[in-house]
Amino acid sequence: VRDSAARQRFEDIWNEHYAAIFAFARRRLSADEAAQDVAADTFLVAWRRLDEVPDEPRAWLLKVARNVLSNYGRGRGRRQALQARLIATRETPTTDAPREATDGLAAAFNRLKPSDREALALVAWEELKPREAAQALGITAPRFSLRLHRAKQRLRKELAASGHVESGTPDEDVGLGPKGDSPDLRMETR
């Protein structure tokens, strides 16, 4: 049984970060209830492993949420079916795609491979710093920087190909460094 200090710490984490974790899940799932499930599972992991939760917990929580989300697909359709309240359901959660691609940017974003979308989304939507995003992905900061850099390049390329012109100055090249990530279809696994 946790002591009152632990409970207080957990409640502080819950109060401060629940909305961000719910939003993270909601961006990737089609219904509030599904996102609530993922957020609840994420915080249950945090409660059970409270000693491992860092003082700045958001990136750690998002890492857990990513894992929970990848597991969620396996049971999701079944639970919904069993409870006879079905909605259009994809067994494997989609990643980071704006569901209403109403402009060129969203459409270009949607054409990116999932790992590119993920890198961009963690910065633009989850508002993580690159160091935090790297932690959420379980990779080194230089590796994330390179991944983000390549994602930006590919987004620009998609925008240019669709006739949208980005104003401003491109990023500095981050130079050679370790590595990208999984190929596009990796996200299609069961």
Partner 1 sequence: MTPELLEALKQADPVDPAEIRTRPRPAETLAAIIAAEPDANSRGSRLRPTRLIPALVAALALVAVVAALLPGSAGKASPEAAEALSQVAGVAGAQTSTGPTSGFTYSRQIQADRLTTGTGDSPAFSVLVPTRIETWVAPDGSGRVRGVRQGVEWPGPRDERRWRAAGSPPLGAERSSDERFGPGELNDTGAEGNLPPTRELPADPERLAEIFKAEAAISSASVPVDVKSFEYATSVLLQAGSSPELRAALYELVAGIEGVELTGEQRDPIGRTGTAVSIDTDYSGAPTRYTLIFDPDTSQPLANTERLLEPQDWIDGDLLGYAVLERTSHVSSLRDRPKH
**Residue type at position 90:** R
Q: Minimal distance in Å, beta carbon 118 to partner 1?
A: 12
Task: Give dist(CA 136, CA 133) in Å, integer.
Answer: 5
Return the number of the residue (129 or 186) whose C-beta is nearest partner 1: 186
Under rule CB under 8 A, residue 64 binds partner 1: yes
Minimum CB separation of residue 46 from partner 1 in Å reads 8
Residue 75 in contact with partner 1, rule: CB under 8 A? yes
Interacting residues with partner 1 between 153 and 182 (CB under 8 A): 155, 166-171, 178-182
By CB neighbour count within 10 A (0-12 exposed, 13-18 middle, 19+ buried), where does 114 fall? Answer: buried
Measured between alpha carbons, how far is 8 from 101 in angstroms, rounded to an integer?
41
Q: The tokens of 143 are what?
A: 């590796």
| Of positions 31, 106, 141, 174, contacts partner 1 by CB under 8 A | 106
Contact 45, 21 (CB under 8 A): no
4 binds partner 1 (CB under 8 A): no
Check binding of 183 to partner 1 (CB under 8 A).
yes
Check residue 168 and give left, alpha or beta (phi > 0: left; psi -120 to 50: alpha): left
Q: Which is nearer to partner 1, 55 or 185 (CB)?
A: 185
Report the distance separating Cα 35 and Cα 20, nearest Å: 11
Q: Give the nearest distance from C-beta 58 to partner 1 in angstroms.
A: 13
Q: Rounded distance, CA 23 to CA 34, Å?
A: 11
Please tell me whether residue 120 binds partner 1 under the rule CB under 8 A: yes
Q: How far apart, in whole angstroms, are the C-alpha atoms of residue 89 and residue 92?
A: 9
Q: Among residues 105, 141, 142, 174, which is the contact residue for partner 1, using CB under 8 A?
A: 105
> How many residues at the interface with partner 1, by CB under 8 A?
87
DSSP state of 90: -
Q: Is residue 47 near partner 1 by the rule CB under 8 A?
A: yes
Cβ 148 to partner 1 shortest distance, Å: 8
